[in-house]
């Protein structure tokens, strides 16, 4: 008989459709765990004791001993078979109501068990791993051997052909790109003498976006500091903004001819569009938190920088900028750089926030090296906002070069105190206090829902 466990997790309906992971988990194991060694030993000793009593009854010629031993042995064998089959044809589904959260938001985690066999499960234990970036509010959790997760424990019984759902409230505590699991199910016979175990796969990722602080008084650098001077930015007709029609002029593109108007007026006419200006903003995020490599990483400064980047891209999106991101922060699956080119995709902001959620405290390249390797990521005339907790001299020189090349540029320093290096031509703002966000406290198991 095939041993099956099916795991899936629902995507946030606002961003993507649901997707199911149909991979099967590992096989059922009868080996003992640390918590249940005694129960396993007792079950094996019970079998040995029955065999011994049966032999004694046969040697002594006592039919009643033989009869009682045989009946008890049949019960023991039945219990062992029951434990062996307990997790057969048992389907497990792990569903999260929302996969995209901000710190402090609460979602619902549903564990569903469906027993598709005519054999009930008298007792079942579920142990599931919950990353420390999440907190189960109305469930029993215990510490694990790993420092980055907690263990959610639940006990229940499942009848034959029965479906059972247990719902838990889960709160996002801090940013991250995390997964629930792996977990384990354990079940056995009615007497608890024998048991089977089944490993559960991890779920799809849950994205906890960085904190976003309000920037009502934040001013982006202007591309026209002296007023309405001629701009070097490219003007073009935006085809999404039609303004009317006019008579055809030699040299007009054929594809702009409005054939219906032309047929009605018997004179060639072309469609016209309103003019607009490309508005790009590039956020340069320096994940370095110390000027000396041997000083390691400062998690507080890194979170300040990421909070600043998330807040600025959100504010820029409100202003209608086409936003890109260049960072030397290493994502979960990357090779030392994070470059997202600016685009007009409506999903650009979620993509940027998800990338910032993935940044780890690892840097293998300087931000200036990443900029030099990706010049196409900074279109001409883009507004540049550089964020750093160090604001090193090479970075300041790079910002001055960008300013000379026609980019309105500003530096955001999120370290302690004032930066050690100031720029002669670039505005460097000390904003560490603005982006200081305290980590949410864990409420514990006594949360009332």
Which domain CATH number covers 64?
Answer: 2.60.40.290
Distance CA 219, CA 342 (A): 20
Same-domain check for residues 287 and 421? yes
CB 118, CB 85: distance < 8 Å: no
Say if 55 falls within a structural domain.
yes
Give the residue with greater pLDDT, 168 vs 439: 168
Say if 219 falls within a structural domain.
no
CB 325, CB 312: distance < 8 Å: no
CB 113, CB 90: distance < 8 Å: yes
Give the residue with greater pLDDT, 146 vs 407: 407
**Mean of pLDDT values over 174-201:** 87
Final residue of a domain: which of 277, 302, 335?
A: 277
**Mean of pLDDT values over 45-70:** 73
Work out the pLDDT band at 213, boundaries 50, 70, 90: very high
pLDDT above 70 (res 168):
yes
Give the residue with greater pLDDT, 333 vs 214: 214
Same-domain check for residues 303 and 375? yes
Say if 324 falls within a structural domain.
yes
Of 341, 417, 441, the C-alpha closest to 382 is 341
- 3-state SS, one letter per residue, for 29-60: ECCCCCCCHHHHHHHHHHHHHHHHHHHHHHHH
Please report where in the chains the tokens 């016979």 appear, as a residue: 189
Say if 366 falls within a structural domain.
yes
Q: Which residues contact 237 (CB under 8 A, 6 or more apart)?
A: 272, 273, 274, 275, 276
Same-domain check for residues 350 and 271? no
What domain count does the chain have? 3
% of the chain residues with pLDDT over 70: 80
pLDDT above 80 (res 308):
yes
Domain, as residue range, for 295: 280-430
The pLDDT value recorded for residue 398 is 96
CA dihedral 121, 125, 130, 134 (to 10 degrees): 80
pLDDT tens-place string over residues 83-116: 889 999 999 999 999 999 999 999 999 999 999 9
Phi, psi (degrees; rounded to nearest 5) at 157: -125, 150
Distance CA 397, CA 292 (A): 19
Say if 143 falls within a structural domain.
yes
pLDDT tens-place string over residues 61-76: 777 777 777 677 777 7
Same-domain check for residues 201 and 322? no
Positive or negative: CA dihedral 267, 270, 271, 273: negative
Say if 355 falls within a structural domain.
yes
39 preceded by cis ω (within 30°)?
A: no
Same-domain check for residues 22 and 141? yes
Distance CA 189, CA 161 (A): 17
Work out the pLDDT band at 348, boundaries 50, 70, 90: very high
pLDDT tens-place string over residues 371-382: 999 888 998 889
Same-domain check for residues 250 and 382? no
Same-domain check for residues 58 and 101? yes
**Mean of pLDDT values over 386-397:** 95
The pLDDT value recorded for residue 61 is 75
pLDDT above 90 (res 250):
no
Final residue of a domain: which of 190, 208, 226?
A: 208
Of 419, 369, 361, 359, the C-alpha closest to 390 is 419
Give the residue with greater pLDDT, 448 vs 205: 205
Range scoring the smallest mean pLDDT among 62-76, 219-233, 280-294: 219-233
Phi, psi (degrees; rounded to nearest 5) at 428: -105, 120
What would you report as the CA-atom Rg of the chain, rounded to the nearest whole angstrom? 32
**Counting every residue, how long is the chain?**
449
The pLDDT value recorded for residue 276 is 52
Same-domain check for residues 246 and 302? no
Of 400, 372, 356, the C-alpha closest to 102 is 356
72 by DSSP, 3-state: which? helix
pLDDT above 60 (res 228):
no
Same-domain check for residues 316 and 252? no
Q: For residue 263, what is the enclosing H or E element?
A: helix 259-265
The pLDDT value recorded for residue 22 is 29
**Mean of pLDDT values over 168-189:** 91
Same-domain check for residues 268 and 329? no
Distance CA 142, CA 199 (A): 18
pLDDT tens-place string over residues 131-149: 999 999 988 888 888 888 8
Q: How many CA atoms lie within 13 A of 380 on its CB side?
A: 6
182 preceded by cis ω (within 30°)?
A: yes
pLDDT above 80 (res 174):
yes
Same-domain check for residues 201 and 335? no
Say if 152 falls within a structural domain.
yes
Say if 437 falls within a structural domain.
no
What is the C-alpha end-to-end distance of the chain, expressed in Å? Answer: 41
Give the residue with greater pLDDT, 236 vs 268: 268
Same-domain check for residues 104 and 194? yes
pLDDT above 90 (res 118):
yes
Give the residue with greater pLDDT, 56 vs 349: 349
Other beta carbons within 10 angstroms of residue 96's beta carbon come to 21
% of the chain residues with pLDDT over 90: 44
The pLDDT value recorded for residue 41 is 60
């Amino acid at each position: 008989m095939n041993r099956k466990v099916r795991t899936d997790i629902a995507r946030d309906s606002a961003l993507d459709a649901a997707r199911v992971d149909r991979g099967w988990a590992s096989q059922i194991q009868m080996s003992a765990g640390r918590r249940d060694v005694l129960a396993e030993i007792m079950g094996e000793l019970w079998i040995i004791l029955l065999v011994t009593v049966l032999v004694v009854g046969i040697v002594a010629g006592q039919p009643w001993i033989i009869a009682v031993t045989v009946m008890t042995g049949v019960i023991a064998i039945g219990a062992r078979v029951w434990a062996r089959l307990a997790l057969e044809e048992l389907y497990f589904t792990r569903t999260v109501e929302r996969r995209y959260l901000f710190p402090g938001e609460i979602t619902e985690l549903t564990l569903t068990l469906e027993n598709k066999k005519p054999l009930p499960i008298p007792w079942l234990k579920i142990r599931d791993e919950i990353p420390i970036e999440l907190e189960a509010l109305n469930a029993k959790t215990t510490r694990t051997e790993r420092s980055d997760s907690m263990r959610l424990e639940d006990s229940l019984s499942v009848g034959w052909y029965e479906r059972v759902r247990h719902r838990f409230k889960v709160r996002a505590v801090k940013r991250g790109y995390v997964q629930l699991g792996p977990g384990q199910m354990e079940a056995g016979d009615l007497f608890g003498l024998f048991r089977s175990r089944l490993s559960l796969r991890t779920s799809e990722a849950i994205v906890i976006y960085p904190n976003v602080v309000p920037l009502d008084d934040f001013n982006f650098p202007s591309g026209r500091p002296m007023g309405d001077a001629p701009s070097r930015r490219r003007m073009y007709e935006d085809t999404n903004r039609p303004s009317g029609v006019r008579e055809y002029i030699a040299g007009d593109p054929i594809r702009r001819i409005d054939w219906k108007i032309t047929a009605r007026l018997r004179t060639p006419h072309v469609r016209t569009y309103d003019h607009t200006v490309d508005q790009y903003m590039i956020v340069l995020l320096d994940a370095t938190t110390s000027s000396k490599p041997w000083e390691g990483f400062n998690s507080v400064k890194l979170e300040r920088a990421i909070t600043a980047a998330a807040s600025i891209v959100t504010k820029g999106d409100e202003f209608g900028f086409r936003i890109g991101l260049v960072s030397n922060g290493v994502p979960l699956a990357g090779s030392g750089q994070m470059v997202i080119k600016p685009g007009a995709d409506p999903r650009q902001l979620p993509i940027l926030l998800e990338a910032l959620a993935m940044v780890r405290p690892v840097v293998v390249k300087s931000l200036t090296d990443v900029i030099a390797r990706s010049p196409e990521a900074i279109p001409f005339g883009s507004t540049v906002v550089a964020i750093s907790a160090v604001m090193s001299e090479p970075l300041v020189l790079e910002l001055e070069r960008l300013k000379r090349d026609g980019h309105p540029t500003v530096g955001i320093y999120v370290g302690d105190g004032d930066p050690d290096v100031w720029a002669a031509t670039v505005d460097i703002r000390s904003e560490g206090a603005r982006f200081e966000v305290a980590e949410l406290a864990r409420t514990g198991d006594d949360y009332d829902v």
